[in-house]
Amino acid sequence: MMGNPLELLLISLAIYVAGAILPLLFSRSEQLVIKLSGIASMIGGAFGLLAVIPVLLSGQILTFAIAGPFSFANFVVRLDGLAAFMVMVISLLVVVTSLYSLSYVQEYIGKGARYMGFFMNLFIASMVALVVVDNAFYFLVFFEMMSLASYFLVITEQDEEAVNAGLLYFLIAHAGSVLIMIAFFILYKESGSMDFDSFRQATLSTPTASVVFLLAFFGFGAKAGMIPLHGWLPRAHPAAPSHASALMSGVMVKIGIFGIIKVGIDILGATTAWWGLVVLAFGAVSAVLGYFTLWLSMILKSCWLTTP
């Protein structure tokens, strides 16, 4: 019989944290580190799936709140349909990529495999925590943890190409973070609280709500690789180890979309029609230019292969 979803979710997060710490404790045996890190990720992913399946099937919303270490921010967890769906996607990909990593990461023995295990589990834990937390301060904390952990994964190879790709990613990611911080600060000033529930209940004027939406849209759009904020994506993803790249492209960029939905629909209520047109326009441009770039690269590759 499955336990309480929130308890299972907490166990999942605890396993990821353990999977991050253990590689540092057993640093002398990188072979053991690889297995500990990968197995911890797989088990954490399994518990994550067990946690969200009941929520997805029942449609219930579960919340949990405790006083945090800071007086201005309570630690609030909200497991609703959107958060549960994201945890499911993260957990599924984590199980698959972790299984793959058990053999793939062998080539990184002697090249800092223990640090890779640390940053991978930290990356995963921060993504899971980010999508379930319901407080702006802790959301930003986990958002930054996710960005920093993924940055260190991008520069794993420590060659010039990886370092340059990591720097570009770092700069664009943090430019987006600044926009998100400003959006949350406006909501905080309007609501008087850092809790998302207070954000939802705040009465904003249409111009103020539109400013918040645009700040969040471009802030999270940078993480989603939306044109024109996409320059980091084709350089950073290939630089990262394969299993990390799979999570970055399969989950992390989707968290950018999650953030847009979270602010635009869940918090602001999507009260203005032109917001949808903005999303549609940028989405269409990103899709068309992405297809055109792929087509052009295939043509150039074909020409190069057929040139005597």
Contact (CB, 8 A) for 37 and 106: no
Nearest Cα to Cα of residue 172 among 109, 223, 101 = 223
- Token code pair at residue 40: 């911890």
**The pLDDT of residue 82:** 93
**What's the rounded mean pLDDT across residues 252-270?**
92
C-alpha distances (whole Å) from 307 to each of 293, 299, 300, 302 are 21, 12, 11, 9
Query: How sure is the predictor about 241, in pLDDT bands with cuts at 50, 70 and 90?
Result: confident
Residue 74 to residue 227: CA distance in whole angstroms: 35
Domain positions in the chain:
1-134, 159-308
**The pLDDT of residue 12:** 95
- Token code pair at residue 306: 């057929």
**The pLDDT of residue 308:** 56
Query: How sure is the predictor about 87, in pLDDT bands with cuts at 50, 70 and 90?
Result: very high
pLDDT in tens, 89-112: 999 999 999 888 887 777 777 666
C-alpha distances (whole Å) from 100 to each of 6, 91, 153 are 28, 14, 16
pLDDT in tens, 3-48: 799 999 999 999 999 989 887 887 677 777 778 888 999 999 999 9
pLDDT in tens, 48-77: 999 999 999 998 899 888 877 777 788 889
**The pLDDT of residue 1:** 44
pLDDT in tens, 124-182: 999 999 999 999 999 999 999 999 999 999 888 777 888 888 899 899 999 999 999 99
**The pLDDT of residue 74:** 82
C-alpha distances (whole Å) from 229 to each of 36, 222, 233 are 36, 5, 9
